């Protein structure tokens, strides 16, 4: 199928280019490790208080993983704007390549980068004392990859639709802040007052974080796990749809 | 669909299935129409102003024969890029139709994409990418396999005097090298028709002349039809077999450079005077010259046309002296495309 072949070609090219700038990959890896080492210890003391289920790592690492998925994807749009400016996107659009492949290939690259970062994060957390079943880690990685895909699609789509860093930056920040504050990524929402919990219930990412926390506690049969995974899949579908619409609109 | 022909054989033989128009003998090939556009139109919604539209291209008819180098000449904002992007499937026409290398632009854009090369005004490569990688990955999008892409890419680079750059990053190339690399990218799938948008913008005079040679070679040695846009008249003049002049989204003239220049009545005489009053008076004197047209007066400069500048000049200078007017500068110029443009639109291309 030409879509798969074209996606692979675009993916390979983007991957080679990303690996040529290892600085960004390293910074991406360093961030979660800094969170683990500098913020993790704080949590250890809070973990003793009420509202916490499980140990600090079981609560904290799922949050960090979700954060990695979201933020790893959210900023890739800057890259596609630079590529558009250098004429690469038009060059690919004028080739017979499948339109959707032009965005999907790049998103696949982002998913690979984010997944590798997640593996490093989980490895570092293991050293610091995280102990969870292997199945939980796998589900964690799948969730990170799905979130990374969804946000990479969206960010690339906004990038291509606006073609301006100045427009993308505020949009990305506006998206990021409520997601971060209302999802209990850093601290569980169970610590929040009732009104805040109600507001947070409307944030799909809160449920995704909770799903992963449940998994890390070994509660694989809890319905929240399915809800979380389903929400992540829905986000990817929406992202892919928006992404291919925006790409198709480039030649309209 | 892998064209087997070698990029450097003098006349390209393309796979028969590529050719939709009848093409039995050499004679037919010479007269083949490779682009045929009817009433191409494109308007954009103006940002900010509600409901307003910008008519970038207002119903263009054009026809290009196989093997021609056609120059699409016009000032900034005339609609050159917009027309090119429509013909390359990058922009959907608001109205009109076109057949490009035998494929219908609206019904079969993918087939058009397979058959054309496009070198955009903005370039085609990432600065961090290596030349070889960009060429191979681009070729792969056309279904060309890696080995063929490497071989063809290296041959094309050599042909454009870029033999040693395969492993360099695109960002490390000079402007002229990068522009030629863009052309290599556009030719990697051996299209019969290539579109070049402002190929020499931003290059120094030497690199421009060098690039023009390569573009000529492209047609002479590979038989590639070249459709290029430019707002440089010297570029259009020296490169094109035929020129289309576009202004405000319409084609205002068409012909070989020589034909177009014939439209301008003779040579241009430009007089520079000391004062604006002198200029007005000289304009009056100029009008009385044999065959002169109405002079254009801009401050202290008067410009007009006469059938033959060499014989008109002594008469003019004599008349000026008699009237007591002292010209500080006199120029006689053979017609240029700029004069053609001026005659057609009342404005200079350089503005
Ligand atoms: N995407 C767009 N949205 C709105 N207006 C546009 C768009 N693209 C082009 N235009 C307008 O259409 C007109 C023609 O633009 P075009 O880029 O085709 O000109 P051009 O002849 O290529 O000029 P240049 O020599 O500067 O490259 C201009 O007025 C331009 O502002
Ligand atoms: Mg242009």
Assign residue B278 the CATH number of its domain: 3.30.70.100
Which ligand is nearest to the Cα of residue B83, counting in written order?
A: 1
Interface test with chain B among A95, A100, A106, by most B beta carbons within 10 Å: A95
Ordered alpha helix ranges (H), chain A: 2-20, 22-34, 40-46, 56-74, 77-85, 88-93, 99-128, 134-162, 165-181, 194-200, 204-216, 223-249
Domain count within chain B: 2
Q: Which of B100, B189, B177 is nearest to B140 (CA)?
A: B189
The pLDDT of residue A42 is: 79
Q: Is any Cβ of chain A less than 8 angstroms from the Cβ of B133?
A: yes
B254-300 pLDDT per residue, tens: 999 888 887 776 888 899 999 999 999 988 888 888 888 888 888 89
A12 → chain B, closest CA residue? B137
Is there a contact between A243 and A182 (Cβ–Cβ < 8 Å)?
A: no
Q: Does B122 touch chain A (CB under 8 A)?
A: yes
Q: Which ligand is nearest to the CA of B56?
A: 1
Nearest to B120 among A9, A21, A91 (CB): A91
**Which is more confidently placed, A31 or A164?**
A164
For residue B273, the model assigns a pLDDT of 92
> Which pLDDT belongs to residue A49?
67
Q: What is the mean pLDDT of residues A212-234?
A: 93
Q: Looking at chain B, which runs of residues are DSSP E strands?
A: 33-45, 53-65, 69-73, 95-100, 103-104, 116-119, 193-197, 225-230, 242-247, 250-255, 267-273, 296-298, 301-306, 327-333
Domain containing B269: what range?
Answer: 265-334
**CA B121 – CA B124 distance, rounded (Å):** 9
Which atom of ligand 1 lies at the shortest distance from residue B78's CA?
21
Q: Nearest Cα to B270, choosing from B233, B294, B288, B296? A: B296
Q: Which of B207, B238, B260 is the last residue of a domain?
A: B260
For ligand 1, atom 5, name the residue with the nearest CA: B44
CA distance A96 to chain B (A): 5
Instruction: Sheet containing B95-100: give its strands across.
Output: B53-65, B33-45, B95-100, B103-104
Count: domains in chain A: 1
Ligand 1 pocket, CB under 6 A: B 44, 54, 56, 74, 76-82, 231
Structural domain contains residue B329: yes
User: Relative to the CA of B231, which ligand 1 atom is closest?
Assistant: 25
Q: What is the mean pLDDT of residues A138-166?
A: 95
Q: In this complex, do B110 and A96 lie within 8 Å of one another by their Cβ atoms?
A: yes
pLDDT of residue B49: 66
Number of A to B CB contacts under 8 A, please give it: 76
Q: Residue A1: what pLDDT?
A: 65
CATH number of the domain bearing residue B196 = 3.40.50.300
The answer to whether residue B308 is domain-embedded is yes
Distance CA B66, CA B309 (A): 39
A167, exposed or middle or buried, with CB in 10 Å at 0-12, 13-18, 19+?
middle
Burial of A87 (0-12, 13-18, 19+ CB in 10 A): buried
Q: What pLDDT does residue B335 have?
A: 79
Q: Which of B209, B234, B260 delimits the end of a domain?
A: B260
As a whole number of angstroms, the distance between CA A138 and CA A121 comes to 13
Same domain, B104 and B178: yes
What per-residue string of b and e applies to B196-210 under the rule 16 or more CB within 10 Å gives b? bbbbbeebeeebbeb
Q: Quick one: which atom of ligand 1 is closest to the CA of B47? A: 4
CA–CA separation, B308 and A51 (whole Å): 98
Ligand 1: residue whose CA is nearest its atom 3 = B44
Q: Is residue B22 part of a domain?
A: no
Note whether B128 and B204 are same-domain residues. Answer: yes
pLDDT tens, residue order, chain B (351 aa): 444 444 444 444 444 334 444 444 444 444 689 999 999 999 998 777 677 889 999 999 999 999 999 999 988 889 999 999 999 999 999 999 999 999 999 999 999 999 999 999 899 999 999 999 999 999 999 999 999 999 999 999 998 999 999 999 999 999 999 999 999 999 999 999 999 999 988 888 888 888 899 999 989 988 999 999 998 888 888 899 999 999 999 999 999 988 888 777 688 889 999 999 999 998 888 888 888 888 888 889 998 888 888 888 899 999 999 988 888 999 888 877 777 877 777 777 765
Provide the residue range defining the domain that includes A29.
2-250
For residue B249, which atom of ligand 1 is closest to its CA?
Answer: 14
Q: Does residue B244 sit in the same domain as residue B311? A: no
Tell me, yes or no, whether B229 and B304 share the same domain.
no
Kindly state whether residues B229 and B93 are assigned to the same domain.
Answer: yes
B147 within 8 A of B2, measured Cβ to Cβ: no
Asked if residue B287 and residue B240 are part of one domain, the reply reads no
Q: Give ipTM to 2 decimals.
A: 0.89
Last residue of a domain, one of B218, B243, B260: B260
The closest residue, in CA terms, to atom 1 on ligand 1 is B44
Nearest to B274 by CA among B329, B337, B196: B329
Report chain A residues whose CB lies below 8 A from the CB of B191.
Answer: none
Q: Is the pLDDT confidence value at A115 over 70?
A: yes
In terms of domains, do B125 and B182 share one?
A: yes
Minimal Cα distance from A10: which residue of B?
A: B137
Tell me the chain B residues in contact with residue A16 when contact means C-beta distances shorter than 8 Å: 129, 133
Interface mutation target, options B103, B126, B135, chain A, most CBs of A under 10 Å: B126
In the numeric block, which tokens belong to residue B99?
């057949």
Asked if residue B47 belongs to a domain, the reply is: no
Please tell me whether residues B137 and B160 are part of one structural domain.
Answer: yes
From chain A residues 53-82, the ones with a CB under 8 A of any chain B CB are: 82
The predicted structure's pLDDT at residue A103: 96
Name the residue with the closest Cα to ligand 1, atom 26. Answer: B76
């Amino acid at each position: 199928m030409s879509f798969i072949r074209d996606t692979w070609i675009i993916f390979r090219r983007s991957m080679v280019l990303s690996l040529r700038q290892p600085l960004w990959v390293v910074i991406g890896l360093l961030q979660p490790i800094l969170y683990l080492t500098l913020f993790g210890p704080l949590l250890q003391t809070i973990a003793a208080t009420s509202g916490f289920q499980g140990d600090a790592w079981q609560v904290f690492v799922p949050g960090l993983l979700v954060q990695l998925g979201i933020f790893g994807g959210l900023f890739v749009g800057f890259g596609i704007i630079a590529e558009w400016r250098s004429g690469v996107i038009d060059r690919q659009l004028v080739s017979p390549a499948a339109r959707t492949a032009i965005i999907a290939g790049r998103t696949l690259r982002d998913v690979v980068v984010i997944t590798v970062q997640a593996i490093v994060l989980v490895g570092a957390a293991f050293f610091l004392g995280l102990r969870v079943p292997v199945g939980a880690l796998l589900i964690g990685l799948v969730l990170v990859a799905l979130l990374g895909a969804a946000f990479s699609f969206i960010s690339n789509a906004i990038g291509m639709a606006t073609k301006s860093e100045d427009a993308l930056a505020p949009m990305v920040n506006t998206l990021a802040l409520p997601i971060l504050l209302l999802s209990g990524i850093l601290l569980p929402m169970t610590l929040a007052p009732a009104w805040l919990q109600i507001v947070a219930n409307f944030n799909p990412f809160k449920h995704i974080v909770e799903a992963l926390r449940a998994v890390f506690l070994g509660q694989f049969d809890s319905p929240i796990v399915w809800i979380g995974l389903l929400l992540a899949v829905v986000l990817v579908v929406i992202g892919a749809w928006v992404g291919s619409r925006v790409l198709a609109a480039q030649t309209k | 669909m892998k064209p087997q022909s070698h990029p450097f054989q003098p006349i390209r033989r393309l796979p028969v299935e590529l050719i939709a128009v009848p093409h039995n003998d050499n004679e037919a090939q010479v007269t083949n129409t490779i682009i045929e556009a009817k009433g191409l139109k494109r308007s954009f919604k103006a940002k900010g102003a509600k409901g307003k539209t910008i008519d970038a291209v207002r119903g263009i008819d054009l026809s290009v024969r196989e093997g021609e180098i056609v120059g699409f000449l016009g000032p900034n904002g005339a609609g050159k890029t917009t027309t090119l992007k429509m013909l390359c499937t990058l922009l959907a026409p608001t109205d009109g139709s076109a057949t490009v290398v035998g494929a219908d632009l609206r019904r079969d854009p993918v087939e058009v994409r397979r058959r054309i090369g496009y070198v955009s005004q903005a370039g085609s490569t990432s600065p961090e990418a290596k030349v070889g990688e960009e060429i191979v990955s681009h070729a792969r999008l056309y279904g060309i396999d890696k080995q063929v892409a490497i071989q063809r890419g290296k041959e094309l680079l050599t042909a454009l005097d870029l033999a040693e750059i395969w492993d360099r990053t695109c960002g490390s190339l000079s402007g002229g090298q990068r522009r030629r690399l863009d052309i290599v990218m556009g030719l990697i799938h051996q299209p019969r028709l290539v579109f070049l948008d402002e190929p020499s913008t931003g290059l120094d005079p030497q690199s421009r002349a060098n690039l023009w040679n390569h573009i000529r070679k492209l047609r002479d040695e590979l038989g590639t039809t070249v459709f290029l846009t430019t707002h440089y008249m010297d570029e259009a003049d020296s490169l094109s077999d035929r020129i289309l002049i576009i202004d405000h989204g319409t084609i205002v003239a068409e012909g070989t450079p020589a034909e177009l220049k014939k439209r301008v009545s003779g040579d241009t005489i430009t007089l520079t005077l000391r004062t604006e009053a002198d200029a007005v008076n000289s304009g009056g004197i100029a009008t009385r010259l044999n065959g002169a047209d109405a002079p254009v007066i801009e401050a202290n400069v008067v410009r007009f046309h006469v059938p033959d500048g060499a014989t008109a000049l002594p008469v003019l200078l004599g008349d000026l002296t008699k009237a007591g007017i002292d010209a500080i500068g006199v120029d006689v110029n053979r017609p240029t495309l700029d004069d053609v443009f001026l005659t057609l639109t009342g404005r200079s291309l350089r503005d």
